[in-house]
């Protein structure tokens, strides 16, 4: 029996964690992720899970504890945001390099300086090359579903890679929404029992993790990681299909909204996709041929689907809630690259929006569609909602 | 020893064989080699005492040679020897097969 309860995005992640009942969770509180660990710590204290909760003294230590526990053979989860993720940075690479299937909730938040606690995607974009799978969530429901999906994906024999389940800080993380929760038993059955590979605690077969890997083998181990990432699209589709059968919800890598006959398209990730859907419906009511392409799986980048869905469109605006100072914005850059091999190339426009939690109301999204429809497109990126 | 390709390696660089560091012959790093002259040696053990790799071999309380598997060629033994019984020679002088 499915039940619908009001939850914040943070509580939805914590609820999924409770049902997953990981062996080890290591954490350090950081805004806006704090609520995840506060809620989960209550579950531990109340005996609802038998997780070993490691309260570390920093995020660097938290991820290190996760790496140690995962190598030991445990099912491991954690959560972080912004500066915390940045502090984890070196260990983030170690987790993926050692091929440990850790699942981490990332509540997206701007990176300092100046100090800011609100949403943008600068933190996870900085980790996009770290070898972690990245899934971006539009709603609290997606946070819940993606978390359960992520466990299965990370632990696939042909994948063995860590996963970040991202959501928008304060927007999704603290906004209350109705979330449909699966039965504990259903989740337990779906994720199954974790069978670790080469666990350190298998003391009859001693082994070494994290040995020096110089010019003789480092490249080969990276090659293995690249290969594992190439297995993800197929693995993702299989796991998503399986979960869809239980929930009735679809989780395509990229989600098209009114895309079939759309001529003017916005590409965006996370909660702003919700705002854009609202604007698309309004403009469709006026007979405008507009559509939305929401990127759910950002790593590995679903290049083929994107180029197929955007081919032949008149104009496409890519909205980045992140930046690359001195270069094109990350999502724009990759969309542009994905369209290189396409014959009928749409005109492309780059918009940077919502940095540091700057509100992105429907009026701003509408202005982007108007730019596309009026041919008001420049080579330079535009800044949505910044004061001149 | 031939190196393995990426398809043959355990993922994540995990080493499944415990205690295999003994197979890692650090002597391959050496570019100059200490050559010990038994006739000049007075068995003072200064070289044995100073060798950072424990590569001076001793048998029956006498220096018996040098373990080239682990000697990195630092030259401390030659520098410390009071009788110049150890001479550092470039590895290029020795046959490839002789270099362990």
Each residue of A186-223: pLDDT tens digit?
Answer: 999 999 999 999 999 999 999 999 998 998 899 999 99
A207 → closest Cβ in B3, B4, B18 = B18
Does residue A233 have a pLDDT over 80? yes
Query: What's the pLDDT score for residue A264?
Result: 98
Buried/exposed code over A62-79 (b: 16+ C-beta within 10 A; e: otherwise): bbbbbbbbbbbbbbbbbb
| Bridge pairing between strands A3-7 and A177-181 | antiparallel
B22 inside 8 A of chain A by CB: no
Residues 6 or more apart whose Cβ sits within 8 Å of residue A300: A133, A229, A230, A232, A233
Q: How confident is the model at residue B100 (pLDDT cuts 50, 70, 90)?
A: very low
Q: Name chain B contacts of A99, Cβ cutoff 8 Å.
A: 11-12
8 A C-beta contact, residue A164 and residue A106: yes
Query: Where does A248-302 have alpha helices with state H?
Result: 272-285
pTM, two decimal places: 0.91
Residues belonging to chain A with any Cβ–Cβ distance to chain B shorter than 8 Å: 97-100, 160, 197-198, 205-211, 213, 216-217, 220-221, 223-224, 227-228
Does residue A292 have a pLDDT over 70? yes
How close A101 gets to chain B, by Cα (Å)?
11
B12 inside 8 A of chain A by CB: yes
8 A C-beta contact, residue B42 and residue B83: yes
- Mutate which: B5, B14, B20, B24, vs A, most A CBs within 10 A: B14
**Per-residue pLDDT tens for B40-73?**
999 999 999 999 999 999 999 999 999 999 999 9
Q: Three-state SS for A297?
A: strand
Q: Do A216 and B14 touch (CB under 8 A)?
A: no
8 A C-beta contact, residue A338 and residue A267: no
The CA distance from A108 to A165, in Å, is 10
Q: Taking Cα atoms as reference points, which of A156, A113, A137 lies closest to residue B11?
A: A156
Task: Please report the DSSP string for A233-247 in residue order.
Answer: HHHHHHHHHHHHHHH
Q: Do A98 and B16 touch (CB under 8 A)?
A: no
Query: What's the pLDDT score for residue A181?
Result: 97
Q: Is the dihedral of CA A286, A289, A290, A292 positive or negative?
A: positive
Query: What's the pLDDT score for residue A218?
Result: 95
Does residue A246 have a pLDDT over 70? yes
B1 inside 8 A of chain A by CB: no
Q: How confident is the model at residue B96 (pLDDT cuts 50, 70, 90)?
A: low
- Segment holding A181, helix H or strand E: strand A177-181
A98 → closest Cβ in B4, B12, B17 = B12
Q: What is the mean pLDDT of residues A304-309?
A: 98
Q: How confident is the model at residue A84 (pLDDT cuts 50, 70, 90)?
A: very high
B18 inside 8 A of chain A by CB: yes
Q: Do B6 and A209 touch (CB under 8 A)?
A: no
A224 → closest Cβ in B11, B15, B18 = B11
> Would you state the structure tokens that stand for residue B11, as one six-digit string?
């993922």
Q: Do B10 and A211 touch (CB under 8 A)?
A: no
ipTM of the complex: 0.85
């Amino acid at each position: 029996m499915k039940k619908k309860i009001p939850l914040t995005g943070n509580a939805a992640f914590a609820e999924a964690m409770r049902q997953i009942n990981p062996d080890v969770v290591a954490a350090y509180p950081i805004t806006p992720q704090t609520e995840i660990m506060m809620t989960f710590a209550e579950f531990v204290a109340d005996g609802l899970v038998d997780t070993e909760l490691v309260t570390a003294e920093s995020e660097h230590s938290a991820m290190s504890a996760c790496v140690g526990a995962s190598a030991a053979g445990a099912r491991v989860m954690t959560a972080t945001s912004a500066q915390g993720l940045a502090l984890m940075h070196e260990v983030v690479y170690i987790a993926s390099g050692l091929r440990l299937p850790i699942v981490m909730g990332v509540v997206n938040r701007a990176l300092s300086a100046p100090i800011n606690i609100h949403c943008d995607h600068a933190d996870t974009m900085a980790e996009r090359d770290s070898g972690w799978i990245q899934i971006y969530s539009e709603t609290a429901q997606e946070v819940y579903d993606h978390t359960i999906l992520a466990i299965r994906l990370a632990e696939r024999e042909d994948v063995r890679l860590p996963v970040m389940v991202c959501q928008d800080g304060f927007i999704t993380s603290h906004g209350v929404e109705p979330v449909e929760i699966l039965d504990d038993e259903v989740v337990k059955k779906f994720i199954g029992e974790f069978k670790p590979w080469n666990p350190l605690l298998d003391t009859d077969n001693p082994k070494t993790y994290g040995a020096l890997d110089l010019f003789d083998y480092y490249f080969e181990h990276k090659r293995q990681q690249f290969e594992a990432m190439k297995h993800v699209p197929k693995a993702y589709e299989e796991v998503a299909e399986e979960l869809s059968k239980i929930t009735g919800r679809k989780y395509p890598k990229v989600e098209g909204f009114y895309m079939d006959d759309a001529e003017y398209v916005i590409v965006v990730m996370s909660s702003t996709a919700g705002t854009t859907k609202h604007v698309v419906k309004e403009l469709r009511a006026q007979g405008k041929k507009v559509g939305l392409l929401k990127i759910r799986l950002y790593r590995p980048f679903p290049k083929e689907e994107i180029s197929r869905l955007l081919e032949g469109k008149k104009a496409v605006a890519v909205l980045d809630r992140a930046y690359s100072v001195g270069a094109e914005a990350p999502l724009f850059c990759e969309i542009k690259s994905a369209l290189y091999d396409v014959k009928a190339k749409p005109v492309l426009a780059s918009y940077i929006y919502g940095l540091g939690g700057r509100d992105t109301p429907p009026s701003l999204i509408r202005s982007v569609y108007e730019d596309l429809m009026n041919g008001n497109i420049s080579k330079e990126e535009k800044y949505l909602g910044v004061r001149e | 020893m031939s190196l393995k390709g990426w398809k043959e390696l355990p993922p994540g660089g995990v080493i499944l064989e415990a205690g295999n560091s003994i197979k890692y012959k650090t002597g391959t790093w050496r570019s100059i080699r200490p050559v010990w002259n038994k006739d000049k040696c007075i068995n003072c053990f200064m070289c044995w005492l100073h060798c950072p790799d424990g590569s001076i071999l001793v048998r029956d309380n006498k220096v018996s040679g040098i373990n080239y598997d682990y000697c990195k060629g630092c030259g401390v033994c030659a520098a410390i020897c009071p009788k110049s019984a150890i001479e550092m020679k470039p590895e290029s002088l020795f046959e490839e097969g002789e270099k362990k």
